[in-house]
Amino acid sequence: MTKTEQFTDIGGLFAKSREMVEMCRGTVYGYLRVSTQAQSHERQVEAMRELGVLNENMFFDKQSGKDFDRPGYNSMLELLKTGDLLVIKSLDRLGRNTAEAKEQWRILTKEKHVSIVVIDTPVLNAGKELGPLGEAVSDIILTIFSLIADFDRFSIIQRTQEGILNSVKRGTKLGRKPLPVPDEFYIYREKYIKKEISQRLAAKELGIARGTFAKWLRELDEEENLAVKNS
């Protein structure tokens, strides 16, 4: 069995993720990214550990994937060298800007000679272990996936714009539907007017945001003032 055969499956072209990790002669790194501070890397960490990526070799970022100005990614990039392996959970964890993601893919595979494992899409696995034909196929598939991602984003934007336009034509108000005003609001309104309770506490008792309580107060005042003017 040749070295290339060790790392391939379908038609001898696509590399097996676990075998690439186990047979890597360099260091196996994992890159994990979420878009906001509120999100967790937990699912990505679990997937990395299942493949055998060590905790100390995982690099994390909590920010948008629109560009590669990220501390975690840049720190890892400085360490990567020929023969190393980079593991990512999915292609969009690397980045969402298609042009920049493809450029980084080129830098990683062609300049730094690093192999890449994409856990969710093994057909994208790239590295010297695949042989020249496997590398070429991987690059072609990356381009196809990138085009599909661009088309999906364009379709979503287009459908959103069409939906907004249709809503405007129908006279539909955009945004969330307003919360119904509960009967208890009027009780707390009287307490607020009598200075027996604050807006913050009244809102808390009603289970709504303080801004919502203030909005209801304002709207009711406007309705009452209009009724007085028209009487």
Residue positions annotated with a catalytic role: 35
Cα–Cα distances (Å) from 177 to 172, 174, 180, 218, in that order, read: 11, 8, 9, 18
Q: What is the DSSP letter of 64?
A: -
- Angle (CA) 87 5 122, round 5°: 30
Which three-class secondary structure state does DSSP give residue 50?
A: helix
Q: Quickly list DSSP for 118-146.
A: ETT-GGG-BSGGGHHHHHHHHHHHHHHHH
Q: What is the distance between the alpha carbons of residues 227 and 31, in angstroms, rounded to a whole number?
A: 63
Paired residues of 150 in beta bridges: none
Q: What is the distance between the alpha carbons of residues 31 and 66, in angstroms, rounded to a whole number?
A: 16
User: Residue 85 phi/psi, 5° resolution?
Assistant: -130, 135
Cβ–Cβ under 8 Å, residues 47 and 117: no
**Cβ of 83: how many Cβ atoms within 10 Å?**
15
